[in-house]
């Protein structure tokens, strides 16, 4: 009753939604259209909205123009997986401690972790470059993995902590009373219960890791074979001309892995990410 | 210790043994009741937090300290020389740098305001009970999911004067006769970069506002509805106050992201044309990485951290007030 709209209101809502979604999706639509057009057509001016020479050739040709393209996509996924795995190893114990245990300087420590969110890699690039050089990690996968982990740990702790706080305490206390050690309780009682939360945080970290590679890649890595996709895409910008259609095709293919993961898990992801925003 | 041995000597060995046993037991009980739990709890907690802390210390805290040290140096590829506050004095006297600060705050406020307004509108639309909203909610998310660098390549194409759809549309509509290069003119480049930044940021803001709106109790709306309150009134007097804490915390988060936004500007314009899109973070990157002036770059980085720190403190103060006003603990 209260939610019922008049016909006019419904039309208005859809119209506004259409404008909003056009803004959001236009770049994707145009990237897709560009990927379908032959290069000569792309450079035809004035702009033509429709034409009859659409083809999927760019999706075949792109592997030839940039022979390492497959490698770049693999690198992107590999780096993201490594970042996610490592981040979770650091995040799970820390988040548990923040959610459940009392210890000195707890709030100050949590504050420090959140403060890290205020810096982006861009502010710390120079000394970070030196740290990585000292550790001998420049121009390796680790040059992109290690800073990625550092900047995702705070977000991960924050997200997982609010999830763990929702798991009833009684189960842990029962295990504890039965004489189980803290570590055993964490491993055998808390983590199995927290699996959905772990998945949500893991996927959020993966998406973050996939998204943030560009800056670290262009600054800390000169090895072509190790570049992730966002940096590798620049190879389509050649000396003579930019093969825009193939670049768009490659970009779209490159975001497929993370889009697929997102689509499958979006329901849990959205619920998990916004858990803190909803009042109980 | 001395007291103990004296007693043992005077009273005798057997009594001493009993005393020791008693004390041990009492201590044991005390530890069990209280002591052991708290001592080992904090130790255990630190063992769990320690690794993450160490990692952050090496990769973030140490470089931060290093940045502060370098900001007092003249440093480049050659070596380092202590110059005191010279780098800061240069910046304080530089008109260009003042302009950059003003531009950065203008960039931040405008972009955050747009993100909040669009996010609020988007969340309200996606919260409306119309068929298909589950699908629309998913369709809003892609800019947030994909790497920023890749989204920017799409925008680069859209802004292209000769082959991009925006310029093409403007020519069709007769707004302009010649191809319009969005990123070639100072003003249009700045606002184009803002549009892209908003595009990247809006999905997350929308998502959080939507979640907050769904958390608002239906009873409130029903009560207002029974009293004859219209939609706009309910939105203004119930929705907005109820989600105010989320609005405030999201605006801080987006402000920090926007202030630090680097990739978007770098890919679209590299800070140009003629510095029109150079924000503090781009300026820092150009100085330090582009021109190898590590000292001057570091001074800029320190100023960024200070400005963001001050801004966040002011904001947290404000957030506290808002939370009190709206009764959030």
| Burial readout B140-177 (b: 16 or more C-beta within 10 A, e: otherwise) | bbbbbbbbbbbbbbbbbbbbbbbbbbbbbebbeeeeee
Q: Among B66, B211, B328, select the one facing A274 at the smallest CB separation.
A: B211
Domain total of chain A: 1
| DSSP structural state of residue A186 | I
Mean pLDDT of B47-67: 88
3-state SS class at A82: helix
Most confident option among A16-25, B65-74, B293-302: A16-25
| Interface subset of A 61-90, CB within 8 angstroms of B | 89-90
Considering the domain boundaries, does residue A10 fall inside one? no
Between A279 and A97, where is the model more confident?
A97
A8–B contact, CB cutoff 8 A:
no
pLDDT band at A2 (very low <50, low <70, confident <90, very high): low
Residue B4 has pLDDT above 60, yes or no: no
Element (DSSP H or E) covering residue A23: helix A7-36
Between B2 and B281, where is the model more confident?
B281
Element (DSSP H or E) covering residue A227: none
What pLDDT does A84 receive? 94
> What phi and psi values does residue A53 have, to the nearest 5 degrees?
-110, 35
If one counts every other C-beta atom within 10 angstroms of the C-beta of residue A38, the result is 15
What pLDDT does A111 receive? 81
What pLDDT does A35 receive? 86
Residues A215 and A121: beta-carbon distance below 8 Å: yes
How many interface pairs between A and B have CB atoms less than 8 angstroms apart? 272
* Weakest-pLDDT range from A225-234, B71-80, B83-92, B295-304: B71-80
A11–B contact, CB cutoff 8 A:
no
B140–A contact, CB cutoff 8 A:
yes
A237–B contact, CB cutoff 8 A:
no
Determine whether the interchain pair B142/A47 forms a contact, defined as Cβ–Cβ distance below 8 Å: no
Between A54 and B265, where is the model more confident?
B265
The Cα B281–Cα B301 span in angstroms is: 8
Considering the domain boundaries, does residue A276 fall inside one? no
> What phi and psi values does residue A78 have, to the nearest 5 degrees?
-60, -50
Q: What is the pLDDT of residues B241-275, one digit of tens each?
A: 888 888 887 888 888 889 888 889 988 988 878 88
Q: Torsion over CA of A124, A125, A128 and A132, rounded to 10 degrees?
A: 160
pLDDT band at B112 (very low <50, low <70, confident <90, very high): very high
3-state SS class at A66: coil
Q: Which residues pair with B75 in a beta bridge?
A: B80
What pLDDT does A274 receive? 67
What pLDDT does B58 receive? 86
Considering the domain boundaries, does residue A238 fall inside one? yes
| Interface subset of B 22-81, CB within 8 angstroms of A | 38, 40-42, 44-49, 51-53, 55-56, 58-60, 62-64, 66-67, 70
What pLDDT does B10 receive? 39
Residue A198 has pLDDT above 80, yes or no: yes
Q: Which residues pair with B82 in a beta bridge?
A: B73
Considering the domain boundaries, does residue A120 fall inside one? yes
Residues A163 and A154: beta-carbon distance below 8 Å: no
Report which of B293, B280, B289, B294 is spatially closest to residue B66, judged by C-alpha positions. B294
The Cα A84–Cα A202 span in angstroms is: 6
Residue with tokens 């000597």: B9
Burial label for A75, CB within 10 Å (0-12, 13-18, 19+), is buried
What pLDDT does B21 receive? 56
Determine whether the interchain pair B67/A127 forms a contact, defined as Cβ–Cβ distance below 8 Å: yes
Report which of B48, B123, B184, B83 is spatially closest to residue A93, judged by C-alpha positions. B48
3-state SS class at A242: strand
From chain B, the residues in CB contact with A211 under 8 A are: 145-148
Residue B20 has pLDDT above 60, yes or no: no
* Weakest-pLDDT range from A52-61, B49-58, B116-125: A52-61
- We report the CATH number of the domain holding residue A158 as 1.10.3720.10
Average pLDDT, rounded, for chain B: 81
What pLDDT does B11 receive? 39
The Cα B49–Cα B127 span in angstroms is: 39
pLDDT band at B5 (very low <50, low <70, confident <90, very high): very low
Q: What is the pLDDT of residues B198-249, one digit of tens each?
A: 999 999 899 888 888 888 888 888 888 888 878 888 888 888 888 888 888 7
| DSSP structural state of residue A202 | H
What pLDDT does A75 receive? 92
Between A120 and B60, where is the model more confident?
B60
| Complex-level ipTM | 0.84
Residues B64 and A119: beta-carbon distance below 8 Å: yes
Residue B13 has pLDDT above 70, yes or no: no
Residues B203 and B211: beta-carbon distance below 8 Å: no
What pLDDT does B137 receive? 86
Q: What percent of chain A has pLDDT over 90?
A: 16
What pLDDT does B8 receive? 36
Residue B18 has pLDDT above 80, yes or no: no
What pLDDT does B328 receive? 55
Mean pLDDT of B62-83: 84
The Cα B159–Cα A27 span in angstroms is: 10
Q: Which residues pair with A242 in a beta bridge?
A: A237
- Which residue range is the domain that position A227 belongs to? 65-269
Element (DSSP H or E) covering residue A237: none
> What phi and psi values does residue B82 have, to the nearest 5 degrees?
-70, 125
Residue B31 has pLDDT above 60, yes or no: no
Considering the domain boundaries, does residue A252 fall inside one? yes
Considering the domain boundaries, does residue A275 fall inside one? no
pLDDT band at B7 (very low <50, low <70, confident <90, very high): very low
Interstrand relation of B73-75 and B80-82 (parallel, antiparallel or unpaired): antiparallel
Residue A30 has pLDDT above 50, yes or no: yes
From chain B, the residues in CB contact with A212 under 8 A are: 147
pLDDT band at A149 (very low <50, low <70, confident <90, very high): very high
Residue A214 has pLDDT above 70, yes or no: yes
Mean pLDDT of A24-46: 81
Considering the domain boundaries, does residue A19 fall inside one? no
Considering the domain boundaries, does residue A35 fall inside one? no
């Amino acid at each position: 009753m209260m939610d019922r709209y008049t016909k006019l209101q419904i039309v208005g809502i859809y119209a506004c939604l259409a404008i909003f979604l056009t803004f959001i999706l236009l770049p994707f639509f145009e990237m897709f259209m560009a990927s379908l057009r032959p290069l000569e057509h792309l450079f035809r001016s004035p702009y033509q909205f429709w034409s009859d020479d659409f083809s999927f050739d760019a999706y075949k040709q792109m592997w030839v123009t940039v022979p390492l393209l497959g490698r770049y996509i693999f690198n992107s996924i590999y780096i993201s997986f490594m970042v996610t795995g490592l981040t979770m190893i650091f995040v799970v114990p820390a988040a548990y401690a923040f959610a459940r245990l009392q210890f000195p300087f707890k709030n100050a420590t949590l504050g420090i972790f959140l403060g890290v969110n205020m810096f982006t890699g861009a502010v710390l690039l120079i000394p970070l470059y030196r740290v990585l050089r000292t550790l001998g990690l420049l121009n390796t996968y680790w040059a992109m993995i290690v800073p990625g982990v550092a900047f995702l740990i705070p977000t991960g702790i924050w997200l997982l902590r609010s999830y763990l706080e929702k798991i009833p305490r009684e189960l842990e206390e029962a295990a504890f009373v039965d004489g189980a050690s803290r570590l055993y309780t964490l491993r055998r009682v808390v983590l199995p219960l927290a699996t959905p939360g772990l998945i949500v945080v893991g996927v959020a970290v993966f998406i973050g890791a996939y998204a943030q590679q560009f800056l670290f890649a262009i600054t800390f890595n000169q090895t072509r074979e190790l570049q992730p996709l966002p940096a590798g895409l620049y190879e389509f910008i050649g000396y003579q001309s930019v093969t825009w259609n193939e670049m768009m095709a490659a970009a779209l293919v490159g975001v497929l892995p993370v889009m697929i993961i997102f689509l499958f898990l979006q329901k849990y992801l959205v619920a998990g990410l916004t858990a803190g925003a909803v009042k109980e | 210790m001395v007291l103990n041995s004296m007693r043992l000597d005077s009273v005798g060995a057997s009594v001493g043994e009993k005393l020791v046993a008693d004390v041990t037991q009492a201590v044991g009980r005390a530890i069990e009741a209280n002591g052991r739990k708290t001592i080992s709890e904090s130790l255990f907690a630190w063992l769990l937090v320690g690794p993450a802390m160490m990692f952050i210390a090496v990769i973030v805290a140490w470089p931060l300290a290093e940045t502060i040290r370098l900001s007092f140096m003249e440093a480049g590829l050659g070596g380092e020389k202590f110059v005191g506050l010279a780098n800061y004095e240069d910046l304080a006297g530089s008109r260009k740098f003042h302009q950059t600060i003003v531009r950065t705050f203008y960039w931040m406020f405008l972009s955050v305001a747009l993100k909040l307004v669009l996010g609020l509108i988007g969340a309200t639309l996606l919260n409306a009970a119309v068929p298909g909203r589950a699908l629309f909610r998913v369709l809003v998310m892609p800019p947030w999911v994909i790497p920023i660098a890749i989204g920017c390549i799409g925008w680069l194409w859209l802004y292209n004067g000769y082959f991009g759809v925006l310029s093409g549309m403007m020519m069709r509509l007769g707004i302009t006769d010649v191809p319009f290069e969005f990123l070639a003119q100072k003003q249009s480049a700045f606002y184009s970069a803002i549009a892209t930044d908003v595009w990247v940021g809006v999905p997350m803001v929308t998502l959080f506002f939507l979640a907050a709106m769904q958390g608002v109790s239906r009873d409130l709306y029903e009560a207002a509805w029974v009293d004859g309150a219209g939609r706009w009134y309910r939105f203004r007097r119930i929705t907005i106050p109820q989600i105010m804490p989320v609005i405030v915390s999201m605006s801080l988060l987006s402000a920090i992201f926007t202030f630090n936004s680097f990739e978007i500007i770098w890919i679209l314009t590299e800070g140009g044309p003629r510095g029109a899109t150079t924000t503090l973070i781009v300026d820092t990157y150009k100085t330090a990485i582009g021109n190898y002036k590590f000292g001057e770059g570091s001074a800029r980085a320190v100023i960024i951290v200070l400005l963001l720190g001050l801004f966040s403190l002011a904001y947290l103060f404000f957030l506290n007030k808002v939370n009190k006003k709206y009764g959030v603990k």
